[in-house]
Amino acid sequence: MKPFIVVLLMCLVLFSCKEEQKEPKQELVMYQSSEMAALMNAMYEGNMTIKNKILEGESIGNFPETYLNIHNAVLTDPADRNASFDAFSKLYIQNMQQVYSGSKDSLKQNFNQAINSCIACHKTTCTGSIPRIKKLLIK
């Protein structure tokens, strides 16, 4: 019986020492945001700055012309550029221009109206960013 156990142990040792096959290394691919995603992130940061200036009673400066790129920036999914998107983007630009050209008394109201136009558009497409956009509203 002892020789049987010794042979069994030897077999276990021999078969358990097999060479592991390594998986080929996968190359990490960095996420590359679309032009529109990059523009919207920049617009978010710009609007956060505007919000803070409004709250502190500071001048907000001039309308950022880069916001006009909303009409031609490449979308993550080009199929999202449709009549609805075009209408919402025009409304957003009009509302943002009103923020810069309107009276100081209506600044908060005009700013919130512009932000609400963002939210309205995002309710139709890309809904995940709505909670972040809502942080821009002035209460």
What is the distance between the alpha carbons of residues 62 and 45, in angstroms, rounded to a whole number? 15
Q: Tell me the one-letter amino acid at 81.
A: R
- Considering the domain boundaries, does residue 46 fall inside one? no
**Per-residue confidence (pLDDT) for residue 52, from 0 to 100:** 97
Residue 6 in any domain: the answer is: no
Q: Is residue 103 part of a domain?
A: yes
Better pLDDT: 39 or 10: 39
Query: Per the structure block, which two tokens stand in for 34?
Result: 């679309």
Instruction: List pLDDT tens digits, range 17-55.
Output: 655 566 667 777 777 889 999 999 999 999 999 999 999
Looking at the 3D structure of the chain, how many domains does it have?
1
107 found inside a domain: yes
**By 3-state DSSP, what share of the chain in percent is helix, strand and coil, each rounded to 5?**
65, 0, 35
Q: In whole angstroms, what is the distance from residue 114 CA to residue 122 CA?
A: 13
Residue 106 lies in a domain: yes
User: Which residue range forms the structural domain that includes residue 129?
Assistant: 83-139
